Structure 1
Amino acid sequence: MPFSSLGFSPYLFPLLERALDQAGYAAPTPIQERAIPAILRGQDLLARARTGSGKTAAFALPLLQRFALASSAPPRRVRSLVLVPTRELAAQVGDTFVQLGRHLSPPIKVAAVFGGVSINPQMIDLRWGADIVVATPGRLLDLVDNNALSLADVNTLVLDEADRLLDLGFEDELRRLLALLPPARQTLLFSATFPASIRALANDLLQEPERIDVQAESQPSPDIRQRALEVDPGQRTQLLRHLLLQEGWGRALVFVASRHAAEVVAAKLCKAGIQAEALHGDLSQGRRTRVLQEFKQEQVQVLVATDVASRGIDIMELPVVVNYDLPRSTTDYTHRIGRTGRAGQSGVAISFISAGTAAHFRLIEKRGRLRVPRERIAGFEPMEALAPNPADPAATGGIKGTRPSRKDKLRAAAALEKRDKD
C-alpha cells in the first residue's frame, strides 16, 4: 500500500511525498498504514508497535497536513502537543516533524523543549508562539508556569512511548498537564507495551479509540541473533574488549546499570585504546547530544549507556548491543536489544550472565517466551559455577553448590588481582 492511498489531501501530498522520498521512506510500515487514516479522520487512537516501527511518522504526517490546510496568523498558538519521556527523543521527534514538513508553505513552526539546558533560549523561541510543541513533561510545566506558552488551544495530544513516561515517574506531571488541556481534543496514545497502568490511562483519556496492535499481527520479526555469554563479573570488561577485537564491530552499544558503571567501563575501554564514551543522565544536555552525534557518525566505537538510550534513539546500522549489566525487566530487555536489527538490517544482542544473575536472566526468558542458548568463550570461562537451566534438557549431571570451595576462592582472588592491574 503506497502513502498516497492513506487519505492525504491530493493538493498537499506531493509536498509530503517529496519530503518522504528525501528522508528515505519507500513505503508505509504496518503502524503507518493503520494509524494515518484513523488520525486523519479525527479519531482517538490507542496503538502498540515495537520500537523502530515508524510510530513518529505515523502521527507526524497527519498533523503536518492538518496545519498546512488550516490558516494560521501570528502569533501562533500551540495546537498539537507531543509528550515524550526523554530529552533525546524530544529532539528526535522534533527533527522528524521539521524534516517531513520542510516543503510545506507557509512553514510550520515546531518547538522541541526539554530539560538539561537553559530555559531562557526556549522561552525566547516561544515568544511568537509555535504550531507544534514536542516536550518532556517537567520542562513543559516550567514553561507554562513562566507564561512562556499556553495549552488552552491544543486540539491534539500525542503521548509517545507512554509506558516509558509512566515508568520514569511522570504520572503526576501528566495529570497536571492534562488538567490544563481542553477536554474536547483528539488524543493519540502510542506505547510499545500495554501494562495495566497504560490500559487505565487509556480508559481515562480516550473516547471510542481506534485500537491498533501491530505487535500481535503477522509481521517480520527483527533479525536479531541473541546470545548469552557466561562470564564472571570481574571478567566482563576484558571479554568485551576481546569481542570488539575478534568480531570487528565498527560500533557497539553497551548497557550498564548505573551512571558510575558507565563512566568506569568507558574509561577502561579508552585506557585499552578503544574509542568509548559514557551516556547517562548526569551529563549536560550539550554533552549528551554531542556524544550521540559522534556515535552515529562512527567517531566513537563504543557507547556505554544507562537505559536513557534504550528508548526512542534511532541509530542506523548498529551491529551489536551488549547487556553488560542485565536490565530490570523483559520489557527493558526488549527495548535494549531493539536498538539493533532495525530497518531490515540484521544485528546481534549479547548478554553477560554470571552466577549471581543467571536466575534473573531465566526470568527474563520465561516472561518474554525466549530461549537463549548459553555460551562460553575460551579464556573467559566463569570460575564460579552457574546452575544449569532446569528447562534445558541438556542440563544433566550434578550441580555444584553455591558455596565456593577453597580452590574457587583462590581463583577468584587471582582474577580480582588481575582485574585491578588492568
Structure 2
Amino acid sequence: MNDTSLIQDDKEVARELMAQIKQDTSTIASRIDTTVGVKSEQKLLVAEHFSETGLSVDLLRALYRQGFEKPNPIQKSAIPHILSKHNIVVQSKSGTGKTLAYTCGILGNIMAGKEAQAIVITPTRELSTQTAKVISQVAQYLGVTVFLALKGEITTRAINEEIIVGCPGMILSLIQNRKLGYKGIKMVVLDEADALLDITCSMGAQTYQILKLIAGAQMIFFSATYSEERKHTIDFFASDAIKMYEERNGKPEGIKLFYIEAEGDNKRKALKSLYEYLSVSQMIIFVNTKATVNYLRKKLEDDLHSVSCLHGDLEKEERDKAVDEFNKSNTKILLTTDVFSRGMDIPQVNLIVNYDLPIYKGVASTQTYIHRIGRSGRFGRMGFVVDFVKGDECEAYLGFQNELKFASKKFTIRALEEVAEEMV
C-alpha cells in the first residue's frame, strides 16, 4: 500500500508505537480515574467557568461536587443554547464531553418533583446505562431522579422520574403501554443521532415515532458524524435548529494511527504478538461478526488472557457483566462487534485494534471507523489504533485516510519483535 509515512521504516514506526503506548500506560497506572468527566487539568478545557454559561447556583454546586470546574468548547457552546430552549444539532468528536453538555442543559430546564420532562435516547443498552449513571451523578444533588429503561426489566408502575434514558424500542413500548406519559415531555436528546435516525432499521422507525409523538418538545441532537441524509432528516423534525456542524468528519485529535498488513490466520498471530510486546493498559478489539468474537475468545483464553465479550446475541445479564468487568479493569481485553463502537467511555483504554475493518459487503463505513477509534483518546488523552488490513482492503483503507485526512503508519510484527529484542 502506498503510504505517506515512508520517511520512517517499519522498525522506526514499531519503536515509536511501543515507546508511546508504554509511556501512556504508565501514566494511566499512576492516576487511574474511572469517573466519566472532564477534569480541570485536561487540555480540552477552556478558561471560562460553568458559572458563565447561565446555570443555576444549585446546579453549579452539583457540578463542583462532582469535580467539574470549567466547560470545554462543546459544553461552552451548547449549554447556553439548550438553556434558551433552542433546538440544537451538535457534531462533536468522541471524548469531548457531550453527555455533560446535555446533562447541564436538561437539569437547567426541568423541575424536580414533577412528571417525566426529558427523554434521552441512545442506540445501545450499554450507552444507556452509562448515560443514566452520568446524569444521576449530577442530578442527585438537585432532587431530580433518572429512570433507566432497559429491555427485559419489568415495569408495572407509572414512571414518575423526571428524566428517562433508554433505547428507542423500550421507550416507545413504555409510552404505548401507558407507563410513560409523554404529554409532559419538554426535551428530547438523541445521543448518537446518526444511528438513531437510520430509517432502514427498526431502531430508526421507533425513533421517528417518538419524535412525532413529542413534536412540540425541544430537540437536541448529538453525534460525532452526520451523513447528508441524516441532516435532511433533522431538518424535517427541527428545521429551526441551531446547527454546529464541523466542516468534515474527522478522527479525534490525539489518536495515533498504525496498521499492519495481515489476513487469515496471520491476523490472529499478529494479535497475539501485539498483546505480548506492547505495554497496554486496556484494549478493545473490534470484529465484524459474532462468529469471530467466539473464535477469538477461545483463542485468547487458550493463551490465558482474561477477556470480556460483547455482541448482539448475548443476554442482557451477560452484556452488563462484560461491560462491568471491563470498566472495573477486571479484564484487560474487550472483544466486541460494533455494539460497543458508540459513545462508551472507559478512560483507561489506550489501544483499539480493528481486527476486521468496518467493511460490510464490500462497502466501507467511514462513520463506523470514526466511532470505533474514538473509544480511545478520551477527554484529551492520547490514544492508539492498530488496523489489520487485508490485501483486498487496501483501496478501502486508503479511502478512510483520504476522507478523514490522516496518514496511518505501517509496521510489521517482525519489526515489533526485533525492537522488543533490542530492548531486552
Q: Give runs of aligned pairs for residues 239-278 of structure 1, distance below 5 A.
A: 239-278=270-309
Check the 8 A contact 2:146/2:161 in 1, yes or no. Answer: yes
Aligned counterparts of 2:223 and 2:332: Cα–Cα separation in 1: 30
**Is 1:342 equivalent to 2:378 in the alignment?**
yes
Aligned counterparts of 2:374 and 2:397: Cα–Cα separation in 1: 17
Which shifted more, 130-139 or 220-229? 220-229
Which residue is 1:198 aligned to?
230
Check the 8 A contact 1:330/1:365 in 2, yes or no. Answer: no
Aligned counterparts of 1:343 and 1:176: Cα–Cα separation in 2: 34
1:336-392 deviation digits (Å, cap 9, x = unpaired): 1111111222121000112132222122222222222322221899xxxxxxxxxxx
Shift of 1:221: 5.3
**Is 1:127 equivalent to 2:158 in the alignment?**
yes
The amino acid across from 1:286 in the alignment is E
1:94-147 deviation digits (Å, cap 9, x = unpaired): 11110011211xx212111132x23x1xx13x5352211112111112222222
**Is 1:139 equivalent to 2:170 in the alignment?**
yes
Q: Give runs of aligned pairs for residues 21-60 of structure 1, distance below 5 A.
A: 21=67, 25-60=68-103
State the structure with more CA Rg: 1
The amino acid across from 2:70 in the alignment is A
Aligned counterparts of 2:53 and 2:389: Cα–Cα separation in 1: 46
SS state of the match for residue 378, structure 1? helix
TM-score w.r.t. length of structure 1: 0.81
Go from structure 1 to structure 2 and tell me whether the alpha carbon gap of 1:103 and 1:229 turns closer, same or farther (over 3 Å shift). same
Shift of 1:14: 4.2
1:394-421 deviation digits (Å, cap 9, x = unpaired): xxxxxxxxxxxxxxxxxxxxxxxxxxxx
Go from structure 1 to structure 2 and tell me whether the alpha carbon gap of 1:227 and 1:153 turns closer, same or farther (over 3 Å shift). same
Shift of 1:71: 6.0
Which residue is 2:62 aligned to?
16
SS state of the match for residue 101, structure 1? helix
Aligned counterparts of 1:296 and 1:339: Cα–Cα separation in 2: 13
Go from structure 1 to structure 2 and tell me whether the alpha carbon gap of 1:191 and 1:379 turns closer, same or farther (over 3 Å shift). closer
Check the 8 A contact 2:252/2:377 in 1, yes or no. Answer: no
Which residue is 1:312 aligned to?
343
Which residue is 2:205 aligned to?
172
Which residue is 2:22 aligned to?
none
Aligned counterparts of 1:283 and 1:16: Cα–Cα separation in 2: 37
Shift of 1:274: 1.1
Check the 8 A contact 1:40/1:62 in 2, yes or no. Answer: yes
Which residue is 1:113 aligned to?
149
Alignment counterpart, residue 2 of structure 1, candidates 49, 53, 78 = 49
Q: Give runs of aligned pairs for residues 60-75 of structure 1, distance below 5 A.
A: 60-67=103-110, 70=111, 72=113
Alignment counterpart, residue 244 of structure 2, candidates 212, 215, 228 = 212
Which residue is 1:92 aligned to?
130
Which residue is 1:376 aligned to?
412
Count of residues in Structure 1 that have an aligned counterpart in Structure 2? 362
Which residue is 1:420 aligned to?
none
Go from structure 1 to structure 2 and tell me whether the alpha carbon gap of 1:175 and 1:307 turns closer, same or farther (over 3 Å shift). same
**Is 1:283 equivalent to 2:314 in the alignment?**
yes
Shift of 1:89: 1.0
Structure 2: gaps of 5 or more residues: 1-47, 360-364, 418-424
Check the 8 A contact 2:122/2:167 in 1, yes or no. Answer: yes
Aligned counterparts of 1:34 and 1:321: Cα–Cα separation in 2: 30
Which residue is 2:267 aligned to?
236
Go from structure 1 to structure 2 and tell me whether the alpha carbon gap of 1:185 and 1:272 turns closer, same or farther (over 3 Å shift). same
Shift of 1:159: 1.2
Aligned counterparts of 1:192 and 1:260: Cα–Cα separation in 2: 28
- Determine what percentage of the aligned residue pairs are the same residue: 27
- Runs of 4+ residues deviating >6 angstroms: none
Check the 8 A contact 1:31/1:55 in 2, yes or no. Answer: yes
Go from structure 1 to structure 2 and tell me whether the alpha carbon gap of 1:352 and 1:198 turns closer, same or farther (over 3 Å shift). same
Question: Per chain length, whose mean CA-contact separation is higher, i.e. which structure has more relative contact order (CA < 8 Å, sep 6+)?
Answer: 2
TM-score w.r.t. length of structure 2: 0.80
SS state of the match for residue 197, structure 2? helix
Go from structure 1 to structure 2 and tell me whether the alpha carbon gap of 1:166 and 1:2 turns closer, same or farther (over 3 Å shift). same
SS state of the match for residue 65, structure 1? helix
Which residue is 1:157 aligned to?
188
Check the 8 A contact 2:306/2:332 in 1, yes or no. Answer: yes
Structural RMSD (CA): 2.2
The amino acid across from 2:207 in the alignment is L
The amino acid across from 1:81 in the alignment is I
SS state of the match for residue 321, structure 2? helix
SS state of the match for residue 140, structure 2? coil
